[in-house]
Amino acid sequence: MVRFGLTVVRHGETRYNKDKILQGQGVDEPLSATGFRQADAAGLFLSNVKFTHAFSSDLLRAKQTAAAILGKNRFCKDLEIKYDARLRERKYGVAEGRPLADLKAMAKDAGEQCPSFTPSGGETLDEVRERARDFFKFLCQLAVELEQKEHGKPGAPGRSSGTSGEQFVFPWTNHCSEAEPSSQGSGSCTVLDANILVVSHGAYMRNWIGHLVSDLNCTLPANLTKSQLSSVSPNTGVSHFIIKLENGNLLKPNITCVCLNQDSHLVDVGAECVASKVF
């Protein structure tokens, strides 16, 4: 059984987010002062989580957020961030750099609605989902290869020998950053093969989570509402998943969503940050 943790964070706020202007891929804005505060807050929130890998969109707002998060981490300050174009925001074509209201007007003129409407030169939702599907498959393959490599080491410890420590506890659950609670409920933990941080974008993340739920039957928290599932994450909203691959089978991952678009770390940053959900 291959197991890995996946923590997905939306980038911090930019001035275009605040002004409700579409960025997509063609507008590469840096974080605003508020965005940097949000990223620092997310970093503090995740500061005790020991990540084994970090990936980020190669757009500036995501790169700056990923760097800020790891900069606050007790264990991973020097962890290499790998930038991947598959994590970029949805491409909005002619609508990039224009107000969100313009996109809605374009959709209305075309007899369609957002977000399914695709402006000229933009990506369809299916194209975005294909990018997300490809990247998730890549992560699963990475975890399988790591497990195989570790399993092949002489004297490698059994999975049941994993132990939990206070310094590894996730901020939202009793999960351990390198482990998950055992089914026996004894407090012992089962070692994860990888614990991965991903920093990306609002519309992309919504589409990716849609893939995990609709296509891969991800198990969701019991208290999650339909509107919460369909909402765009707030800036630096945090989602966490545990993925299990029986016999390394990449086609049938068992996915559990531990939390979705968690934003409690933003309470002290300012109310406007929590409410900023424009993609």
Please calculate the CA angle 259-263-264 and round it to the nearest 5 degrees: 100
pLDDT of residue 148: 86
pLDDT score, position 187:
34
Q: What is the pLDDT of residue 10?
A: 98
The dihedral formed by the CA atoms of 16, 20, 25 and 29, expressed in degrees to the nearest 10? 0
* CA nearest neighbour of 102 among 16, 21, 18: 21
Residue 278: predicted pLDDT: 42
DSSP string, 213-271: IIIT--B--TT--HHHHHSPPPTT-EEEEEEEEGGG-TTS-EEEEEEEEE-GGGTTT-H
CA angle 37, 131, 30 (to 5 degrees): 25
Active site residues: 11, 89
pLDDT for the residue numbered 270: 63
What is the widest separation between alpha-carbon atoms in the chain?
A: 66
CB 241 within 8 A of CB 216: no
Backbone angles phi and psi of 257, in degrees to 5: -90, 115
Per-residue pLDDT at 193 = 87
pLDDT tens for the chain, 279 residues: list them.
899 999 999 999 999 999 999 999 999 999 999 999 999 999 999 999 999 999 999 999 999 999 999 999 999 999 999 999 999 999 999 999 999 999 999 999 999 999 999 999 999 999 999 999 999 999 999 999 988 887 766 555 544 333 332 334 567 654 444 344 433 333 334 478 899 999 999 999 999 999 999 999 999 999 888 888 889 999 999 999 999 999 878 889 999 999 999 999 999 886 444 434 444
Which residues are annotated binding-site positions? Answer: 10-17, 61, 89-92
pLDDT at residue 81, rounded to an integer: 98
Q: Catalogue all structural domains in the chain, each as residue range(s) with its CATH number.
A: 2-20+31-93+124-150+191-262 (3.40.50.1240)
- Annotated binding site for substrate, which residues? 10-17, 61, 89-92
